[in-house]
Amino acid sequence: MRVFLGITGASGAPYARRLLRALAGAGCDVGVCVSRAAIEVLATELYADARLSRDEILARLTEGTGDAVTIYEVDDWRAPYASGSAKVDAYIICPCSMGTLGTIASGAMQNLIHRAASVALKEERKLVLCPRETPLSTIHLENMLTVRRAGATILFLAPGFYHGRGSLETMTVDDLLDFVVARVLDQIGLDNALIPRWGS
Ligand SMILES: Cc1cc2nc3c(=O)[nH]c(=O)nc-3n(C[C@H](O)[C@H](O)[C@H](O)COP(=O)(O)O)c2cc1C
C-alpha cells in the first residue's frame, strides 16, 4: 500500500511517530513530508531540544523504518504526491494544524502537503486529516465542514479511555497513542491489532 503522510505543526508529534512506525511495520511504502513548523514541534515534543537540526530530527523520526520511508521536501513539486497521475492509496495529515486545514479548505496549495491533500480530494481518494486545536473558532469549524463536504475524513486527535488495556492506573501514553493510530489505520483499510476491539 502506498501512503502519503504529511506532518504539520500542530501538537501531536508522538502520534505522527507512532503512525509512521505502524505504517512502515505493515509494509507500506510511505512518502513523508514535514512542514517547517512541524520540525519545531517534533524537536519540542519528541526530543525536548529546540537546537536539533532538521536532518537530525528526520533521522531520528525515521529510525528503524528501513527503506519503507522516503522524505520529501515541502517544495518538492516533482514528488509523486504532487500529481493525480501517481498511484497513491491513501493520504494522511497527522497532526494537521489549523493553518494547513484552512489552506486545504481554501484550495490554496503553498506546499507539498497542501498539494497532496488537494490531489486526494480531486481524485476522490482517501484523505484523513487529524487536527488538534482547542477550543475551536467558527473559522476552524467551518473549514472542517468544508473539507468534510469535499470528501476528507476528519479524525480528531482525541483518544478514548475504554480500550481494554486495563485500568487508568495501568494505562500508558502509548496506549492512548495506539487508540488514535488504530483508528487512522482502520480508516485507510489497513489491518491492525494495535488495540483490543470493542466487543471482541
Ligand atoms: C509547540 C507548538 C505547538 C503548536 N500546536 C498547535 C496546535 O495544536 N494546533 C494548531 O493548529 N497549531 C499549533 N501550532 C501552531 C502552528 O505550528 C502554526 O500555525 C504553523 O504556522 C502551522 O504551519 P503548518 O500547517 O505549515 O505546519 C503550534 C506551534 C508550536 C511551535
Mean pLDDT of all residues belonging to the chain: 96
Q: What is the pLDDT of residue 168?
A: 82
Among 99, 95, 88, residue whose Cα is nearest residue 122: 88
> Per residue in 124-141, pLDDT tens?
999 999 999 999 999 999
Atom of ligand 1 nearest to the CA of 97: 11
Residue 169 CA to residue 165 CA, distance in Å, equals 10
Across residues 155-165, what is the average pLDDT?
87
Measuring from each residue's beta carbon to the nearest atom of ligand 1, which residues come in under 6 Å? 8-11, 35, 37-38, 40-41, 44, 97-100, 132-133
Q: What is the pLDDT of residues 73-123, one digit of tens each?
A: 999 999 999 999 999 999 999 999 999 999 999 999 999 999 999 999 999
This prediction's pTM = 0.97
Grid cell 488538534 is found at 132
Would you say residue 163 has pLDDT above 80?
Answer: no
CB 108 within 8 A of CB 147: no
Residue 170 scores a pLDDT above 90: no
Q: Which residue in 64, 66, 42, 68 sits closest to 55, CA to CA?
A: 42
- Taking CA atoms only, the protein residue closest to ligand 1 atom 7 is 10
Contact 7, 34 (CB under 8 A): yes
Would you state the pLDDT for residue 77?
A: 97
Confidence of residue 171 (pLDDT cuts 50, 70, 90): confident
The arithmetic mean of pLDDT across residues 153-162, rounded, is 95
If phi > 0 it is left, if psi is from -120 to 50 it is alpha, else beta; for residue 66 that is left
Strand partners, 70: 31
pLDDT of residue 200: 79
CA-wise closest residue to 175 among 30, 60, 14: 14
For residue 133, which amino acid is it? Answer: E
Q: In the prediction, which pLDDT does 50 show?
A: 87
Cα(54) to ligand 1 centroid in Å equals 17
The tens digit of pLDDT for each residue in 1-28 reads 999 999 999 999 999 999 999 999 999 9
